[in-house]
Amino acid sequence: MIKIYYTLEPEFDDYLFIEADHGLDYITEWAEKAAENYYDEHGGWEASWPCHIWLWNEDATLIGCYLVTLEAVPTFRAWKSEE
């Protein structure tokens, strides 16, 4: 496992992290996992999507910036109709 840090701004000062079990070939998946972590654990449901996610190595070296979208999943509900 490797620790990948991420931020929502281009500075490495207010960072969060995820743990990844794949190498550099999976950077896009890291960005998606970071966005999911932000959404689920750090109030990302209140954010305005899409969001830019900056990924960083442990030594604060920038890996890259990714634009991450949030797809809407429709919810269907039914009520008995009188018709």
- Report the pLDDT value the prediction gives residue 65, as an integer from 0 to 100: 97
**Domain contains 77:** no
What DSSP letter does each residue of 34-72 carry, written as one string?
HHHHHHHHSSGGGS-SSEEEEEE-TTS-EEEEEEE----
Query: What is this structure's pTM?
Result: 0.82
Does residue 28 form part of some domain? yes
Q: Is residue 78 part of a domain?
A: no
Residue 82 lies in a domain: no
Domain region containing 64: 2-68
If one counts the domains in the chain, the total is 1
In a domain, 14, yes or no: yes
Longest dimension (CA), the chain: 65
Q: What is the pLDDT of residue 19?
A: 93
Please report whether residue 83 resides in a domain: no
Residue 73 belongs to a domain: no
d(CA 10, CA 20): 21
Averaged pLDDT, 29-45? 95
The reply to whether 59 falls in a domain is: yes
